[in-house]
A and B are shown apart, each in its own frame.
Chain A
């Protein structure tokens, strides 16, 4: 039957695509659903990926090629109208697609609906959406992709550029107490890219503490200081405004020197953190699984992962912030667990 699969994968970002590929290698038939018009998720918006600075488009191209398999049916622009457990085993989803309404069924579900970037406009004091020269990390990636940083910075070849870490993450008032995990490394990567584009630029990173946990990340941080001369200021930006030349004036406290700082900038980049995807709540609600207090899907076991519910699995950032390699690893692991489940090994949690 055309509309009957072994696994429905919700979300065709890196986690969903990787899991689909892995399952196809095992001979598992999957239906890969994507609400956007294209597969790729947030990779579509990014120019380069830390730590080596590989092009996101190359990574995405590679991943897309791998899902060109007879075992994978990819449906983009797909909206899930309902998803529920069937009587007996398996699941049924009603979809609205470009080709009309469709009902699909499967033995298992893999939730890989990813994350949502925190809406930086909620941090009103930073002036995103108010001041033209205040942008987000995602906006900057788009400027890098289109080689158009000049649209913000102008003709100035010696610009001053600031990066604000932890925007909407580790922030109780923003409702996100968690660390977004990837922003420190992304900020350092982007700061170095600015220096490559503008060697005479002065670049500041305002951080709470740098969480360069991954392999080679610390090297990247040292390189940013030693080779590129990026200035790291430990302190949060408290206020952003605009001077009469429409340049940005940022106020912060340098907590190491114990002094307030006020810096005039040509561009301020807000490192919007990974926040839970609100869509995940609709899916988990239908499938009777839980979201945690931070909005991310709750693991059934904090060590071994996965969720409560027979035949329901997760992969990627729907369960919390992860780097791209971690996401891909988890997708591979999820595929292996699904394969085992379909072969008769029960979902332990």
Chain B
């Protein structure tokens, strides 16, 4: 691999990411899948980096899952988005940051469509006014939350308590980065690094001491793919896609996976358990799986957050082997204790994949 060649492409796909003052919107599914990621993000940007991030309880789903499942038409989803923009306008912000990759793709698609078809924008404005009595300004800047962590990656590195380095060997951890399909595949110029060799997560990994793995199925879908999972009869496709990715990355012996999409970490984490039950096969070392993280969780680990405060006990694949490699101190006894020491329940042990 010619690293300089990738650097050349990265230099061609750099987007403007504002320094401060964001209207932030959460994902509708991430809080269930990886509950502390968004909380950690806001804590990092507000309290560690001192930035202004505003959020409102009036924000709703963007409609992306319904849209990509062909359940609602484009005009409906655009009206939902117009309402979110109206909330931003009312709050006095111009920079829009979203936690979800599908939302990011949909916002980008909508803004591009309105540029090309201003009559459609006018129609949506009219519908929004009739239905909600709201008006909106289009954001001056749209960022995915991973763009923002990417922008501040070196500041995070300066404050790091731990690095993506194996403390026993001193070698960089080998990290698979998985980018959500809706981040840049539709609009390459809107993603850091473009669509073919995205740099948004690779940049974080490099800054925090890790080594990025480029493997043949790097660009392949995580397995979510909306209708291949949402339609129950199609779930074999979902599983086989995830299986294909793991078979492809396994020879590179990754220590961990980092993702920037709501669905990807969930499917790459949970399907490892299913593959192990179906085939008795595991992809990590010594019978464990390969731990899968959101970028906020990894930023949190690097900054020294307690792993259980980051919600890592909610992962199917045990994270302890990775914590041990990074030299992170944690209390195994507190893994299943929630707020105020309340016992949150311990999952049943799987048959094959090792868990702690």
Q: Which residues of A contact B (CB under 8 A)?
A: 121, 124-125, 129-132, 239, 241-244, 246, 249
CB-CB under 8 A from A244, the residues of chain B are: 215, 251-252
The one of B2, B196, B215, B251 in contact with A124, judged by C-beta atoms closer than 8 angstroms, is: B196
A243 to B195 CA separation, bound complex (whole angstroms): 19
Q: A130-B1, A131-B1, A132-B2 are in contact. Are A241 and B197 (CB under 8 A)?
A: no
Q: Known contacts A132-B1, A241-B215; decide if A124 and B9 are in contact (CB<8 Å).
A: yes
In the complex, what distance in Å separates the CA atom of A130 from the CA atom of B218?
15
Which B residues, 185 to 199, have Cβ-Cβ distances below 8 Å to chain A? 194-197
Of the A-B pairs whose beta carbons lie under 8 Å apart in the complex, a sample of 29, sorted by A's number, is A121-B5, A124-B194, A124-B195, A124-B196, A124-B197, A125-B196, A129-B5, A130-B1, A130-B2, A130-B6, A130-B9, A131-B1, A131-B2, A132-B1, A132-B2, A239-B219, A241-B214, A241-B216, A241-B218, A241-B219, A242-B1, A242-B214, A243-B215, A243-B216, A243-B251, A244-B251, A244-B252, A246-B1, A249-B216
Interface size on B, residues (CB 8 A): 18
How many inter-chain residue pairs (CB < 8 Å) link A and B?
A: 39
Residue of B nearest to A241 (CB): B216
B342 at the interface (CB under 8 A from A): no
- Complex contacts, B214 vs chain A, CB 8 Å: 241-242
Residue among A125, A131, A132, A241 with the highest chain B CB neighbour number at 10 A: A241
Contacts of A121 in B (CB 8 A): 5, 8
Inter-chain pairs besides A124-B195, A132-B1, A243-B215, 12 sampled, C-beta below 8 Å: A121-B8, A124-B9, A129-B8, A130-B9, A130-B197, A131-B2, A239-B219, A241-B215, A241-B218, A242-B216, A244-B251, A249-B216
* Distance in angstroms between the alpha carbons of A132 and B5 in the assembled complex: 10
Q: Which residues does chain A contribute within 8 Å of B251, judged by CB atoms?
A: 243-244
Q: Which residues of chain A come closer than 8 Å to B252, judged between CB atoms?
A: 244
Most buried by B among A121, A129, A244, A249: A244
- Min distance, Cβ B17 to any Cβ of chain A, angstroms: 22
Task: Give the shortest distance, in Å, between B78 (CB) and chain A (any CB).
Answer: 26
Residues of chain B with a CB closer than 8 A to A129's CB: 2, 5, 8
Residues in B neighbouring A242, C-beta threshold 8 A? 1, 214, 216
By CB atoms of chain A within 10 A, which of B5, B194, B195, B219 has the most?
B5
Q: Render B233-267 as a binary contact track against A, CB cut-off 8 A, 1 for contact.
A: 00000000000000000011000000000000000
Complex alpha-carbon distance, A241 and B9, angstroms: 15
Closest CB of chain A to B246's CB: distance in Å?
A: 14
Residues of A within 8 A of B216 (CB): 241-243, 249
CA distance A242 to B215 in the complex (A): 6
A270–chain B nearest beta-carbon distance, Å: 14
User: What is the CB-to-nearest-CB distance from A259 to chain B, in angstroms, rounded to a whole number?
Assistant: 15
Q: What is the bound-complex CA distance between A125 and B8, given in angstroms?
A: 14
Q: Given the complex, which residues of A lie within 8 Å of B9, measured CB to CB?
A: 124, 130
B105 to chain A, nearest CB (A): 19
Contact with A along B203-228 (1 / 0, CB 8 A): 00000000000111111000000000
Closest 6 CB pairs of A and B: A129-B5, A249-B216, A124-B196, A130-B5, A244-B251, A241-B216
Residues in B whose Cβ lies below 8 Å from that of A249: 216
Chain B residues positioned under 8 Å from A131 (CB to CB): 1-2
CB distance from B184 to the nearest CB of A (A): 11
Interface-centre pick from B1, B9, B216, B251 (highest chain A CB count, 10 A): B216
Chain A proximity of B81: nearest CB distance (Å): 27
State in angstroms the CA–CA spacing of A125 and B194 once bound together: 11
Note all chain B residues with C-beta closer than 8 A to A243: 215-216, 251
Least Cβ distance of B185 to chain A in Å?
11
In the complex, what distance in Å separates the CA atom of A246 from the CA atom of B194?
23
Residues of B within 8 A of A241 (CB): 214-219
**Residue in chain B with minimal CB distance to A130:** B5
Residue-wise, chain B 317-343 has the 8 Å CB interface mask toward A (1 for contact) of 000000000000000000000000000
Q: In chain B, residues 1-45, which have Cβ atoms closer than 8 Å to a Cβ of chain A? A: 1-2, 5-6, 8-9
Question: Could you tell me the distance between the alpha carbons of A63 and B353 in the complex, rounded to whole angstroms?
Answer: 71
- How far, in Å, is A268 (CB) from chain B's closest CB? 13
User: Distance (Å) between the CB of A174 and the closest chain B CB?
Assistant: 14
**B 168-201 binary contact with A (CB < 8 Å = 1; else 0):** 0000000000000000000000000011110000
Set of chain A residues within 8 Å of B215, measured between Cβ atoms = 241, 243-244
Q: How far is the CA of A242 from the CA of B195 in the complex (A)?
A: 17
Residue of A nearest to B196 (CB): A124
Expressed in whole angstroms, the minimum distance between the Cβ of A288 and any Cβ of chain B is 35
* CB nearest to A123 among chain B residues: B196
Shortest Cβ gap from A130 to chain B (Å): 4
Q: Could you tell me the distance between the alpha carbons of A241 and B249 in the complex, rounded to whole angstroms? A: 12
Bound state CA distance, A249 and B217, in angstroms?
A: 9
Residues in chain A near residue B217, CB distance under 8 A: 241
B195 / chain A contacts, CB cutoff of 8 Å:
124
Q: Which residue of A lies closest to B251 (CB)?
A: A244
Q: Which residues of A contact B197 (CB under 8 A)?
A: 124, 130
Using Cβ atoms and an 8 Å threshold, which residues of chain B touch A125?
196
B260 to chain A, nearest CB (A): 20
**Complex CA–CA separation, A132 to B196 (angstroms):** 17
A180–B39 alpha-carbon span in the complex (Å): 55
Q: How far is the CA of A243 from the CA of B219 in the complex (A)?
A: 13
Residue interface bits B287-330, CB-to-A below 8 A is 1, else 0: 00000000000000000000000000000000000000000000
Q: Which residues of A contact B2 (CB under 8 A)?
A: 129-132
In angstroms, how far is the closest chain A Cβ from the Cβ of B252?
5
Q: Which residue of B lies closest to A248 (CB)?
A: B216
Q: Which residue of B lies closest to A129 (CB)?
A: B5
* Nearest-CB residue, chain B, relative to A132: B2
Smallest distance from the beta carbon of A22 to chain B beta carbons, Å? 43
Report how far A130 CA is from B194 CA in the complex, Å.
14
Q: Which residue of B lies closest to A244 (CB)?
A: B251
Residue on B nearest A125 in the bound complex, by CB: B196
- Alpha-carbon gap, A130 to B3, bound state (A): 7
Q: Which chain B residues border A239 with CB–CB below 8 Å?
A: 219
